[in-house]
Amino acid sequence: MTTVPVTIPRLETEDLILRGYCEQDFEAIAAFGASERSQFVGGPMTRWDCWRAFMAGIGHWILRGYGMWMIEHRHTGAVAGRVGMIYNDGWDEPELGWHIYDAFEGRGLAYQACIAARTHAARHMDLDGVISYVSDKNERSLRLARRLNCTHERDAMLLGQPCQVWRHPKEGVT
């Protein structure tokens, strides 16, 4: 297994390992990106666009010192999605984002991943009380935002699309 030469913290939950990227992760990212399930994160995308998103995910860690983790299901080793902190050009501020892949939805894994990422970001990356951009049509992500005790702050536009801005509670880390 080849990994990129950047230090990405490894986080663990009961069911998940949040880790850095390796080339073998790309097929799962490409499958998600090509599917209708990616519609709320810029998809469906071509394989080339998925590759660029994959490389951007790695580059985000290098440029910003934080980014999205790959989510590995602890018991199967399968790639279950991505979660983490992103601050792309055009964003108002850093965001906690998540993508959970098809076979892993509805099992509480997104919640586990978000709590682990959010807590780590607050304690170690000076990213506390961040936002999440959520489409008002993405019922699963809206439910997750509420479960994470986020509050709807305002309606907004992101990349020419309407969305809602949800604010995460502060961890109280100073």
Among candidates 72, 103, 69, which has minimal Cα distance to 84?
Answer: 69
The answer to whether 110 and 73 have CB atoms below 8 angstroms apart is no
Peptide bond into 9 cis (omega under 30): no
Number of continuous H segments (helices) and E segments (strands) in the chain: 4, 8
User: Which listed CATH number (3.40.630.30, 3.40.50.11540, 3.30.465.10, 3.30.70.270) goes with 11-129?
Assistant: 3.40.630.30
Domain boundaries, the chain: 11-129
pLDDT at res. 52: 85
pLDDT tens readout for residues 81-94: 999 999 999 889 99
pLDDT band, residue 3 (cuts 50/70/90): very low
Euclidean distance between CA atoms 53 and 44, whole angstroms: 12
104, pLDDT greater than 60: yes
pTM of structure: 0.89
Of residues 116 and 35, more confidence is placed in 116
Q: Quote the pLDDT of residue 4.
A: 46
pLDDT tens column, 53-88:
888 889 999 999 999 999 999 999 999 999 999 999
Which structure tokens are listed for 169?
Answer: 């509670």
157 within 8 A of 136, measured Cβ to Cβ: no
Residue 38 three-state SS? helix
What is the rounded CA–CA span in Å between residue 77 and residue 94? 29
